[in-house]
Amino acid sequence: MSTDPIKRIVAGVRDGLPGTVEVFLTRTWEQVPAYAASPDPNLRSDVASHAEAVFRAVLITLEEGRDAVREDFHLSAGQAANRVRQGVALADFLQAFRLGQVALWERIVEIAAPDPETSQAALATASHVMQVIEVGSTVAAEAYLNTQQLELAEGDRIRRDLVEDLLAGREVPAGPRLEVARSSATDGRP
């Protein structure tokens, strides 16, 4: 066992990473209804991959003794875009991020509790963990909002093109415009 308490914490979190991810997933599905309600069958595995990547970013920056930077969260932008498409609201996405922080912190405390020196080191890591999660949640929230804006703009473009087709008397081609036209029908017929 390493004599450096920070290294003991990092090693302990790494060794128990699958369990920490599972604790986070269970809490997220219990406490954030949007996750349980999503029909996307890939959501749980997507969230697990994202959580593991964020936890690893904490561990890497802790090992290297440096603050987190945006580049530590390369997976977060894509995951945020997925959440938009999976029907998870930004508030729910950020709540899940916080639940991940709590699960990680509880694991750190669990590792540090038996040893006074490691416990003292764990206290010093609290602000570090918060800084890493702050950077990660900022990157994720920005990516979420960018994706959401792009999706809204695309929806507006499709509706505009549909109106132009209808006003010009053109047949609406198969695809998104026709789907919007069908979903907008108000005559009650299938």
pTM: 0.75
**AA letter at 21:** V
pLDDT one-digit tens code per residue, 138-183: 888 888 888 788 776 666 666 666 677 677 788 867 766 667 677 7
87 touches 38 (CB < 8 A): yes
Q: Which of 24-33, 61-70, 115-124, 139-148 has the highest mean pLDDT?
A: 24-33
Checking if the pLDDT of 1 tops 50, the result is no
Tokens of 1: 């066992």
Rounded CA-CA distance 101/184 in Å is: 42
What is the structure's pLDDT at 84? 85
Token look-up 């090693």 returns 11
Long-range contact pairs involving 86-90 (C-beta distance under 8 Å, separation at least 24): 86/38, 86/40, 86/43, 86/46, 87/34, 87/37, 87/38, 87/39, 87/40, 88/34, 88/35, 88/38, 88/43, 89/34, 90/141, 90/144, 90/145, 90/148
